[in-house]
Amino acid sequence: MLDLLIHNATLPDGRTNMSVAVQAGRIAEVTEGLSPAAAPAKETVDAGGLLLSTPFVDAHFHMDATLSLGLPRLNASGTLLEGIALWGELKPHLTFDALVQRALAYCDWAVANGLLAIRSHVDTSDASMLAVEALLAVKKKVAPYIDLQLVAFPQDGVLRSKGGVENLKKALSLGVDVVGGIPHFERTMADGADSVKLLCELAAEQGKLVDMHCDESDDPLSRHIETLAFEANRLGLHGRVTGSHLTSMHSMDNYYVSKLLPLMAEAQISVVSNPLINITLQGRHDTYPKRRGMTRVPEIMAAGMTVAFGQDCCMDPWYSMGSGDMLEVASMGLHVAQMTSQAAMAQCFDAVTKNPARILHLEGYGLEAGCNADFVLLQAQNPVEALRLKATRLKVWRRGTLVAQTPARTAALSLPGRPAHTSFLHTK
Ligand code: FE2
Distance 233 CA to ligand 1 centre (A): 24
Mean pLDDT for the chain overall: 96
pLDDT tens digits for range 353-388: 999 999 999 999 999 999 999 999 999 999 999 999
Average pLDDT, integer, range 223-248:
98
Read off the amino acid at residue 199: L
pLDDT band at 414; cut points 50, 70, 90: confident
Question: Hey, where are the domains in the chain?
Answer: 2-54+366-423, 56-359
Q: Residue 423: its pLDDT value, please? A: 81
Is CATH 3.20.20.140 the right assignment for the domain spanning 56-359? yes
Q: What is the 3-state secondary structure (H, E, C) of 44-80?
A: EEECCCCEEECCEEEEEECCCCCCCCCCCCCCCCCCH
**What's the length of the chain?**
428
Burial of residue 266 (CB within 10 Å: 0-12, 13-18, 19+) is middle
Which among 216, 231, 328, 385 is annotated as catalytic?
216
The share of the chain scoring above pLDDT 90, in percent, equals: 94
Please say if the pLDDT value at position 411 is more than 90.
no
pLDDT tens digits for range 293-351: 999 999 999 999 999 999 999 999 999 999 999 999 999 999 999 999 999 999 999 99
CA–CA distance, 193 with 32 (Å, rounded to integer):
52
Q: Residue 425: its pLDDT value, please? A: 85
**Within 175-238, where are the H helices?**
189-206, 224-234
CB atoms within 10 A of CB 358: 16
pLDDT band at 129; cut points 50, 70, 90: very high
pLDDT tens digits for range 2-39: 999 999 999 999 999 999 999 999 999 999 999 999 99
Average pLDDT, integer, range 142-150:
98
Distance 126 CA to ligand 1 centre (A): 17
Please say if the pLDDT value at position 288 is more than 70.
yes
- Give the architecture (CATH level 2) of 2-54+366-423: Roll (2.30)
Q: Residue 422: its pLDDT value, please? A: 79
Q: Give how far the C-alpha of residue 85 lies from the chain's centroid of Cα atoms, to the nearest Å.
A: 24
Q: Is 166 a catalytic residue?
A: no
Distance 61 CA to ligand 1 centre (A): 6
Distance 248 CA to ligand 1 centre (A): 15
Q: Residue 428: its pLDDT value, please? A: 59
Distance 244 CA to ligand 1 centre (A): 7
17: alpha, beta or left, given left = phi > 0 and alpha = psi -120 to 50?
A: left
CB within 8 Å of 35: residues ≥ 6 apart:
7, 19
- The H or E element spanning position 101 is helix 96-112
